[in-house]
Amino acid sequence: MGVDVRLNVNQQIEVRALKDNSSAVYKSMVQGVEDNTFTIHVPTKGRDRLLLDSGERVKVSYYEEGASIVFESTVISRTLEGSIPLYRLALPAEAERVQRREHVRLDISLNIRYQKAEMDEDNNPVPVERPQKAVTRDLSGGGLQLVSRERLEVNDLILVYLDLKDWKGRDRHLQVLAVVKRVEMLNQRGQQCWVAGVAFKEINPRDQDVIVSFIFRKMLERRRMTDR
The amino acid present at 173, given as its one-letter code, is H
8 A C-beta contact, residue 5 and residue 69: yes
Q: Which of the pair, 193 or 223, is modelled with greater confidence?
A: 193
pLDDT in tens, 28-52: 999 999 989 999 999 998 888 999 9
pLDDT score of 159 = 96
Domain residue ranges in the chain: 2-99, 105-227
The domain defined by 105-227 folds into Thrombin, subunit H (2.40.10)
Residue 99 has pLDDT above 70, yes or no: no
Q: Which residue would you say has higher pLDDT here, 139 or 190?
A: 139
- pLDDT for residue 67: 66
Say if CB 146 and CB 132 are below 8 A apart. Answer: no
Q: Which long-range contacts (CB under 8 A, 24 or more apart) does 131-137 make?
A: 131/161, 135/109, 135/110, 135/111, 136/108, 136/109, 136/110, 136/112, 137/107, 137/109, 137/195
Among 5, 50, 6, smallest CA distance to 28 is for 50
Q: Of the segments 49-53, 165-169, 190-194, which one has the largest average pLDDT value?
A: 49-53
**Angle (nearest 5°) at CA 207 between 220 and 216:** 10
The pLDDT tens digits of the residues spanning 108-134 come to 999 999 999 998 888 889 999 999 999
Q: Residue 94 above 60 pLDDT?
A: yes
What is the reported pLDDT for 228?
59
Q: Tell me which of 2.30.110.10, 3.90.78.10, 3.40.50.1980, 1.10.10.10 is the CATH number of domain 2-99.
A: 2.30.110.10
